Amino acid sequence: MSQLVVTNALIVPMTEKPRSFTGHARIRDGFVVEAGEGAPKETTKDEQKIDATGCVLMPGLVNAHTHLYQVLLRAVWEDLPLLPWLKRIYGVARALRPEHLYAGSLLGCVEAIKSGVTTVCEHNFLNPHPGCAKETVRAIRESGLRAVFARTIMDSGEVVPECVKESPEQAFRQIDELIAGERKNWELQGTSRLAFRTGPNTPPINTTPELLGEIVRFARDRGIGISAHVAESRSVVEYVRERHRKDGVVVFLQDFGIPGPESIFAHCVHLSAAEIAILEATGTSVSHNPVSNMMLGDGVAPVVEMLRAGVNVALGTDGAASNHSQDFFETMKAASLLQKVHHQDAGIIDPYSVLTMATAGGARALGLSSVCGTVEAGKRADLILVRVDTAHTQPVNDVFSQLVHCVKASDVDTVIVGGEVLMRNRRLTKFEERQVIEEAKKANVDLMQRLGSLSP
């Protein structure tokens, strides 16, 4: 396994208090074994050395909510509110093939790596064929990223095509097969960067109460967590009030025991104060997706209120169909600015809180606190080097603010996951980037042709 020493870095460890220092980090067998000030006492000749002069060394970013293959659907449907937009997104299932999922997800992974992401939570929800989830998992595994693959379920809903409505038994069988398949790979390779979750996709607009009960039972039995889209738009809250007589989606989900420390709720835009208290009391994490919320006109999530109440908030891009991009630095900046303008208070959220959401908060949300999210001895070496010696980042007066407000994805120089270098000097090590792009373009043409030939 690799032995690596990074020197002359401006280290932002993201361990509790805001702190930065010039120093070095040593990586052995995939773990950080040393992160200290100044130069290392000694280096051995079998260590690979990276001189990080002009760079920040920080934890790799955690994208806590995305749909990777949706890079194929960038800017296809725009200017639509959530429910009409979802109808089109779900309609893709009638044309979607496993090969589209593989090519799109691989391009999504490449874009993630190039923007400094080392962990993704892939919220999967269109499964017209068992190969769709399998091929997405294969793309993620081959990319080298750490990931939580949340294979979610739908069994109802007017806008959901029949081909993706599943019985619990059918869906659970496929999830068991996915996990067993990955276990085999794990045994072959000796290591796995993949974990699994399940969940209702967008309760309750595409899940029956019966399915919710079955999902909780299955998740507990298998010891896996839950990912769900929760209270994304006002229309979903109105639906839960009309159909289920409940005052909010979180209140509704509480009846099924779905909020909890193993659950991540994406969006949480429309919550009452009582629901924020439920999230805190149950230890439920939230993925805030500011660019997607703005693009779909959903509203502004009560991020400041959740943070003040003690809710763990992570950040996500959401899929490229409602964001257009997987640029995580753009997401951090949007998260900061959106709260400032919403509260009309420039001091309402500080940059370190945003960085925490993007790193340690994301790791905690995905049950990976002991694995990644900070730079410290004992954790996996999921690290990035970010150039801060450019015209748009110099001079560095406040490194935390400048990581959130000045840095761009294109400043990410090096990406390391579990000690493996996935990108160095912006060159991918496992892929020919141009080839991944060309394959995704071919998949896009095929998917669009198949969509065009469907009856309305």
- Closer Cβ to Zn ion, 318 or 413, answer by number: 318
- Closer Cβ to Zn ion, 115 or 289, answer by number: 289
- Closer Cβ to Zn ion, 298 or 318, answer by number: 318
- In angstroms, rounded to a whole number, what is the distance separating the alpha carbons of residues 373 and 150? 19
Residue 223 per-residue DSSP state? T
- In angstroms, rounded to a whole number, what is the distance separating the alpha carbons of residues 91 and 66? 18
> Please, what is the minimum distance in Å from the beta carbon of residue 229 to Zn ion?
5
- In angstroms, rounded to a whole number, what is the distance separating the alpha carbons of residues 113 and 119? 9
Residue 201 per-residue DSSP state? S
Query: Do the Cβ atoms of 104 and 140 come closer than 8 Å?
Result: no
- Closer Cβ to Zn ion, 298 or 413, answer by number: 298
- In angstroms, rounded to a whole number, what is the distance separating the alpha carbons of residues 359 and 380? 13
# residues near Zn ion by CB under 5 A: 1
* H-only helix segments in 359-432: 360-365, 399-405
Report which of 59, 77, 119, 128 is spatially closest to residue 317, judged by C-alpha positions: 119
> Please, what is the minimum distance in Å from the beta carbon of residue 253 to Zn ion?
16
> Please, what is the minimum distance in Å from the beta carbon of residue 377 to Zn ion?
35
Q: What is the 3-state secondary structure (H, E, C) of 4-56?
A: EEEEEEEECCCCCCCCCEEEEEEEECCEEEEEEECCCCCCCCCCEEEECCCEE
Q: Which stretch binds Zn ion (CB under 5 A): 270-278, 316-324, 376-384, 421-429?
A: 316-324
Q: Which stretch binds Zn ion (CB under 5 A): 132-140, 145-153, 313-321, 380-388?
A: 313-321
Tokens at 228, concatenated: 């769900």
Q: Is 122 in the site for Zn ion (CB under 5 A)?
A: no
> Please, what is the minimum distance in Å from the beta carbon of residue 115 to Zn ion?
18
- Closer Cβ to Zn ion, 228 or 422, answer by number: 228
Count of other CB atoms within 10 angstroms of residue 191: 10
- In angstroms, rounded to a whole number, what is the distance separating the alpha carbons of residues 66 and 257? 24
- Closer Cβ to Zn ion, 153 or 386, answer by number: 153
Q: Which helix (H) or strand (E) holds 357?
A: helix 351-358
- Closer Cβ to Zn ion, 323 or 374, answer by number: 323
> Please, what is the minimum distance in Å from the beta carbon of residue 288 to Zn ion?
12
Q: Is 232 in the site for Zn ion (CB under 5 A)?
A: no
Query: Do the Cβ atoms of 247 and 254 come closer than 8 Å?
Result: no
Q: Which stretch binds Zn ion (CB under 5 A): 107-115, 298-306, 315-323, 408-416?
A: 315-323
- Closer Cβ to Zn ion, 226 or 399, answer by number: 226
> Please, what is the minimum distance in Å from the beta carbon of residue 89 to Zn ion?
9
> Please, what is the minimum distance in Å from the beta carbon of residue 11 to Zn ion?
33
- Closer Cβ to Zn ion, 86 or 440, answer by number: 86
First vs last C-alpha separation in the chain: 54
- In angstroms, rounded to a whole number, what is the distance separating the alpha carbons of residues 26 and 35? 7
Longest dimension (CA), the chain: 69
Helix or strand or coil: residue 144?
Answer: coil
- Closer Cβ to Zn ion, 120 or 388, answer by number: 120
Q: Which stretch binds Zn ion (CB under 5 A): 88-96, 112-120, 318-326, 398-406?
A: 318-326
> Please, what is the minimum distance in Å from the beta carbon of residue 287 to Zn ion?
9
- Packed helices 82-91 and 234-244: angle between N→C axes, nearest 10 degrees: 90
* Contact set for Zn ion, span 354-373 (CB under 5 A): none
- In angstroms, rounded to a whole number, what is the distance separating the alpha carbons of residues 440 and 427? 19
- Closer Cβ to Zn ion, 214 or 318, answer by number: 318
> Please, what is the minimum distance in Å from the beta carbon of residue 437 to Zn ion?
24
* Contact set for Zn ion, span 139-198 (CB under 5 A): none
Residue 105 per-residue DSSP state? H
Name the residue number minimizing CB distance to Zn ion: 318
> Please, what is the minimum distance in Å from the beta carbon of residue 67 to Zn ion?
6
Q: Which stretch binds Zn ion (CB under 5 A): 179-187, 216-224, 278-286, 310-318?
A: 310-318
> Please, what is the minimum distance in Å from the beta carbon of residue 401 to Zn ion?
28
Tokens at 178, concatenated: 């996915």
> Any idea which residue has 């924020």 for tokens?
276
Query: Do the Cβ atoms of 273 and 243 come closer than 8 Å?
Result: no
Helix or strand or coil: residue 347?
Answer: coil
- Closer Cβ to Zn ion, 115 or 124, answer by number: 124
Q: Is 318 in the site for Zn ion (CB under 5 A)?
A: yes
> Please, what is the minimum distance in Å from the beta carbon of residue 10 to Zn ion?
34
* Paired sense of beta strands 313-315 and 285-288, if any: parallel
Note the residues at the interface with Zn ion (CB under 5 A). Answer: 318
